[in-house]
Structure 1
């Protein structure tokens, strides 16, 4: 967000004078306020009994991204915006300017232009179903929402319906029974577990494909990892994320079908087996540590055991790192068709049920063109549908929201502990992708069969049965809210 606003002579500006001496200049990305009103100041030469008038010249620049609302009431122009009170918190500020009756038509036209530019293609006054998980993370989701998010939604005039989840799986039931014509988005105040439930609740409906296309699923970061918020909005701040959801672009998101036995579930974030799954699911007892629990779990398991044998077959689409980088660059440079989302919704309404599984289930015959990957010494299998798994862990830098491909990382468990520690450090620096011991593939499906009887498999951070699983991706099946439509807020591969 730029803090530089062009002057009144810029070709796309529109200026308005209110209260005789305040000029509001609407630029391409900001609102410039020049206030030349006179103020009364005490005249010290009159023993405090006299006051003099002094003309002051002050300017203020407000990013259009931060403009939440503007209106003309009977006597004032009111502009509401989000303002940084610290580097990671925004709060509500309001400007009031007196106006006369004869000024109203011109001011109302200016206000309309301000809001059009402030929101762009984002939907104004979204209808939001807010789900609060009072048990997730450190158990502070309800207070975080009320303190930091609720004021932002109210200032933007969003229609909000808040409901607390009462037990594991409750969000599945809520989403399955939701009136999808009454809401534009379901916002989860939690970690990544609640969006996982919501996607699956929408998917369980008879019109699952339509529901997933019509209702965006988003996250306010109130849990441990908060991967969805870091990817889609680029922040771990509840208030900044709330602003991002108000201004966010509704856009498609790939979802992955997971089959185990006769069950089919949907995944939006990741699937892991090996040390990452163990570090995630094996650290529930130290959730008080927040995101640091993953690092703790990784180090503890690295000292104990690093091999989790399995059978693995992958439907590989790209397996060369340079080709993966080229694919990312080409996709990131594309122009997003503004009509594409309406066409996707129309297609979903015409064929509302979930798409059929192209490769069957984990119990089906294994396709002959799937590549076998040696798994006897598997140390880490990690499939990502998003780039960032938690703060500073851009594990899948080449991941894209809707390219119809999942990114799969495999690492042999026989690499030295020194190399493993270096890998962990290189994730935050961006060097992880190019390390020779890291194998990366873009794929459309995989099947993984554990050799042992006990262990952990994580889907979007949630534990699932430790048994064979098969996954296949569905391009653009889900919907979420992005700060930048079509891209994650993560650095791509170098």
Structure 2
């Protein structure tokens, strides 16, 4: 993957004795001629040929069946592929109690903050992408879930909008996770289905929504799992840490719905929705759509009103670093959200529907403190609360899951074809933030009023009518699973000292 060096979960050098003095109770003697040792970052298997180090992140489960200790783990067979493997050894009868205690320590190291034995409702979209989701789930995902002792309930979606119905009717006490084997469309439906429940806020807090990348657009997996590999994403879900995430209310006409990823108007929306007929090209269709519109120098005039919270890139950089430095538990961050601004997303009384809209709807008068600017030469409007818009495209390097803001990027005014091509290259190389042609702001709400003939408006990759719409953010309303429980994967805004 270009733009940054992805973390390799399989690399874990075996520590030498001069660096790590292992306590005696960290080692379990097995088969009389082998041992299992709990190292700093990995399980070290001695007595096998060759000696192995299995990163704790890869350990799925361990148990003692009579006198046989069985450890299941994710074994890499290629750069982006893992399969379930296991090792087993016999322990002496006299060591049985000690083996059980050792297994408990191994699982503590393997899971840390992550919940074990997750109860997962799996939704498989057999129509999305290339139609391979059922095959990929059975081959790459389900074996990892089962080896990790997850409870799995599988249902195939039958039609567009089916996941909305499933999520609206689901019993939130039966599951911990709703996992979408799909592109980004199914998570969008699931968030909106949960948002329709009478106790929407409780449901959105209790059920973590995740994506297992089986579609054309897999932005959610890139942001939270750091991959579009189905097997690596399955492992990321097994080990994922519950993380609160901001959601966005969209109002248009008399409708209100939730957005978890992005809203776009102009060249990005055109590149996405305007190339649906070219899905067979994969991600190359976005490049084709971009180049076609750049050459034509297409503009999309509109009126834009924004509630700006941070409009200086230096201040955004400081805000980002402060959030990154503040690592707190899920419960503490939930509590902080309520204390800091209880009108945004109070939690978690029974029977609570979605939060009231602070700024009204798209048909109400504009709030007095919003800044309205006619945009005669709008080239691109893109707003979101995740870092990636697609693979290798970290459009929002300052995005954070839980800072109560949307990230807004606009290209204001007419620019040359050469400059536009340079912007495209800068996105792939994570140079958008410092490019002066990109206007980057942290906002809590906006209203976009398109002009002219019918065109494309995209909400989470879904087309909505060509009409005025309004957006406002809800701090920590949703719940997802992430690898670190704190921030998105991939490249971020560099510190001032390193920029």
Which category describes the TM-score, using the shorter chain as reference length? over 0.9
Cα drift, residue 413 of structure 1: 4.8
Which consecutive residues of structure 1, in runs of 5 or more, have no partner in the other structure? 37-56
| CA–CA separation in structure 1 for the residues paired with 2:42 and 2:351 | 42
- Give 2:139's match in structure 1, choosing from 111, 129, 147: 147
Cα contact 2:305–2:446 (8 A) shared by 1: yes
Cα drift, residue 113 of structure 1: 0.8
| CA–CA separation in structure 2 for the residues paired with 1:60 and 1:453 | 63
User: Hey, what does 1:51 align to over in structure 2?
Assistant: none
User: Hey, what does 2:67 align to over in structure 1?
Assistant: 75
After superposing the two structures, state which structure 1 stretch, 189-198 or 345-354, moved more.
Answer: 345-354
1:32 and 2:32 are equivalent in the alignment = no
Cα drift, residue 93 of structure 1: 0.8
User: Hey, what does 1:52 align to over in structure 2?
Assistant: none
Secondary structure of residue in 1 paired with 2:361: coil
Cα drift, residue 11 of structure 1: 5.8
| CA–CA separation in structure 2 for the residues paired with 1:121 and 1:5 | 24
After superposing the two structures, state which structure 1 stretch, 410-419 or 273-282, moved more.
Answer: 410-419
| CA–CA separation in structure 2 for the residues paired with 1:13 and 1:321 | 52
Cα drift, residue 101 of structure 1: 2.6
- Give 1:23's match in structure 2, choosing from 35, 48, 51: 35
Secondary structure of residue in 2 paired with 1:348: coil
Cα distance per residue 1:179-225 (max 9 Å; x no partner): 11100000001110100000000001111111000000000111112
Cα drift, residue 157 of structure 1: 1.0
Which consecutive residues of structure 2, in runs of 5 or more, have no partner in the other structure? 1-8, 339-345, 495-499
After superposing the two structures, state which structure 1 stretch, 350-359 or 336-345, moved more.
Answer: 336-345
- Give 2:332's match in structure 1, choosing from 328, 340, 347: 340
Secondary structure of residue in 1 paired with 2:86: strand
User: Hey, what does 2:183 align to over in structure 1?
Assistant: 191
User: Hey, what does 1:208 align to over in structure 2?
Assistant: 200
- Give 2:164's match in structure 1, choosing from 155, 166, 172: 172
Runs of 4+ in 1 over 6 A off after TM superposition: none
Cα drift, residue 172 of structure 1: 0.3
Cα contact 1:138–1:290 (8 A) shared by 2: no
User: Hey, what does 1:47 align to over in structure 2?
Assistant: none
Cα contact 2:311–2:442 (8 A) shared by 1: yes
- Give 1:242's match in structure 2, choosing from 234, 247, 271: 234
Cα contact 1:274–1:307 (8 A) shared by 2: yes
TM norm structure 2: 0.92
Cα drift, residue 269 of structure 1: 0.3
Cα contact 1:281–1:463 (8 A) shared by 2: yes
Cα contact 1:225–1:290 (8 A) shared by 2: no
1:472 and 2:472 are equivalent in the alignment = yes
After superposing the two structures, state which structure 1 stretch, 188-197 or 298-307, moved more.
Answer: 298-307
The residue correspondences of 1:301-312 to structure 2 (distance < 5 A) are 301-312=293-304
Summarize the Cα distance change of 1:476–1:389 in structure 2 as closer, same or farther, 3 Å threshold: same
Cα drift, residue 341 of structure 1: 6.0
Cα distance per residue 1:281-316 (max 9 Å; x no partner): 011111111222111111122223421010101000
Summarize the Cα distance change of 1:248–1:428 in structure 2 as closer, same or farther, 3 Å threshold: same
User: Hey, what does 1:43 align to over in structure 2?
Assistant: none
The residue correspondences of 1:317-396 to structure 2 (distance < 5 A) are 317-340=309-332, 343=335, 347-350=347-350, 352-396=352-396
Cα drift, residue 166 of structure 1: 0.7
Equivalenced residues, count:
474
1:3 and 2:15 are equivalent in the alignment = no
TM norm structure 1: 0.93
Summarize the Cα distance change of 1:68–1:351 in structure 2 as closer, same or farther, 3 Å threshold: same
| CA–CA separation in structure 1 for the residues paired with 2:110 and 2:332 | 22
Cα contact 1:202–1:208 (8 A) shared by 2: yes
